[in-house]
Chains A and B, each alone.
Chain A
């Protein structure tokens, strides 16, 4: 197969590309330039697509012995990921930009371009496994990584069967420590490079400051669950459901218990807070479901639902209702944020993903 390997400059995508070559594929490396204004250097474990990352990717391609190019996707990334991120926060939601990048950039814009240019698949260093689909469909199924700490199936669950059938995740059956060891063995200089964390386009990691610079100050009240104003804030986008720290409440709660964010109402600029128990939800409505290489279930199904990246799973009954997904958790989950994905698993295999719209 002709394979396009997306190479971030990190250790995972470098080893993934090397494995694709070793599997006998004709591999071309591509670094995606996602920032319109790339910084020169990485600062710690944050950020990506700096000029240094582009160089690291190029050097990895040299060592692996594959052609290498840089593709400029900065405009698409800004429109589909960064602006979406800002708009979602402005609506009081908590988006996952990695998920959006996989959905709109890596396995849409990049995949489409690769296919048009004659490639058969896009290879990445994601920690997730691809399983053969049901007979005849040709679609692949997505499953959790062999490394439970690195598993990224949650942010890939938004891909359709068609997208999955043109994806390649050579690291799915390997744990991270092994990938690093293999990188060192292969002479890849990125073997010891720190993992990326946080949001790649917020270089200093200060999401609140980033949002403030995009959305401006929008002060409003913080209201306790009994309707009392207990504080003020500079912008409701600085909060996520379930958040406890950084509320700076002017007065202690009457019951003396800590307060958590229960809800965000951007129109009235109101942040609602309350005690921990008020965070418990059992009913979730999730919109725009995507079925991961399988047919939509015709009847309610029993599944395990994951409600945020690296979060716990909850046994649940899930049913399609008027185009959206109704999820009834068998035990309550705490701190479910609008805008995050609800990903349905059957054991380790992904069934589908939908965006959390409401929880109660």
Chain B
């Protein structure tokens, strides 16, 4: 055993002090890799070959990449040429938001932007949110935050109103497919149609949706969709921007000209293959898996409400407007980080669902945008289920959530 193994073992023992089984309810952060994806990746990792090389080894690796590209394109209603591999969701979001913004400007660098307006909801993931902020601070963009209702939904009328104020000045619209914190599903096709009427590119971060909902580039009418492997059983470090034909974002990464010059960088054949294997498995079993997870999630919501009647479910009720895997509550009088720590000590992993600075939880920008006050935003927890979840996980949570909330409330704010 190496020193690292020993140290990690000790750490695991330390956090498993009460002998409780580990219960993982944080699949929205990342989920276990599917065994077939691990096997495919391990096999490919033992091969040598740069997919851009012209010799036999390169051609072999390239074939792996292209077969994977075809599988992923097929799964998400895109042509193979419309799949641009990236290092993950954050990079794909940056490429879509910055790249499409730059591509939409008529003049040369240094001039005032001809289409300065970037429209996005205030509940976007930070990869979109901060990209838009950056464009506003450094590139002369005007960020406009589209309003959501108390359940986190953007109505297409609100988007139409915003665009119609001056359609010619809009560079792009970015609205996530499903919210990572509260699970709200946006009416993406409707929204993309509104943007399309005015010829405005429409990007959607579909990172949370791609493993749980039918997602199609073509049927959605979107210009660009972000997906990532590690939320659906593939490895961390690979994702894609699905980019409708005709959309030509200005590259963010310059270099060897891979991915038709849109995204330079050596293609990671092993990760891409595992990504495709996971996608294939997920879309084949999408309906049964979504139904199974939804049932567990509804059980979780019922049990938590039974144990803690004053708990507030954030986002839409269970139904077509909520991600099947997501349950998100505010526990009045509690702080999210106290709840998380107490649950962690009992072997249950969940999330406060918010960004960190040096590990410090900030009140959720999503809940604040939905009209929640600061206290409600701070006192919230996300439970998210996935392909390894079982009824035992839900039972384990319901066995302790009452006392945990009670204790966190005593600890106050």
Q: List A residues at the B interface (Cβ < 8 Å).
A: 26, 28, 31, 33, 38, 49-51, 54, 58, 62-67, 69-72, 74, 112-113, 116-118
Contact = CB atoms under 8 A, between A and B. Distances in A.
Given A38-B358, A54-B358, A62-B11, A69 B337 contact: yes
9 contacts: A33-B358, A33-B360, A38-B357, A62-B7, A67-B15, A67-B341, A70-B359, A116-B410, A117-B407
Contacts of A71: 337
B360 A70 contact: yes
B311 interface: no
Interface residues on chain B, size class: 20 to 34
A351 B384 CA distance: 54
A58 B337 CA distance: 16
Interface string B374-413: 0000000000000000000000000000000001101110
Contacts, number: 61
A357 B261 CA distance: 73
A118 B360 contact: no
A70 B17 CA distance: 20
Interface string B1-37: 0000001001101110100000000000000000000
Contacts of B342: 117-118
A54 B338 contact: no
Nearest to A63: B7
Contacts of B14: 64-67
Interface of B: 7, 10-11, 13-15, 17, 337-338, 341-342, 344-345, 357-361, 407-408, 410-412
Nearest to A74: B360
A22 B341 CA distance: 22
Contacts of A69: 337, 341, 359
Nearest to A73: B360
Contacts of B358: 31, 33, 38, 49-51, 54, 70
B54 to A, nearest CB: 44
B407 A28 contact: no
A72 B345 contact: no
Contacts of B345: 28, 67
A26 B14 CA distance: 8
A116 B411 contact: yes
B344 A116 contact: no
A74 B362 CA distance: 12
Contact of B7 (A31, A38, A65, A74): A65
A38 B337 CA distance: 19
A193 B95 CA distance: 41
Nearest to B344: A67
A26 B7 CA distance: 17
A287 B284 CA distance: 75
B11 to A, nearest CB: 5
Given A38-B358, A65-B11, A72-B361, A118 B407 contact: yes
B353 to A, nearest CB: 16
A117 B338 CA distance: 8
Nearest to B338: A117
Given A31-B358, A62-B11, A63-B7, 15 more contacts: A28-B341, A28-B345, A65-B10, A65-B11, A66-B15, A69-B341, A70-B358, A70-B359, A71-B337, A72-B360, A113-B411, A116-B410, A116-B412, A117-B341, A118-B342
A14 to B, nearest CB: 14
A33 B361 CA distance: 10
Contacts of A50: 358
A130 B305 CA distance: 46
Contacts of B361: 72
Contacts of B338: 113, 117
Contacts of A112: 411
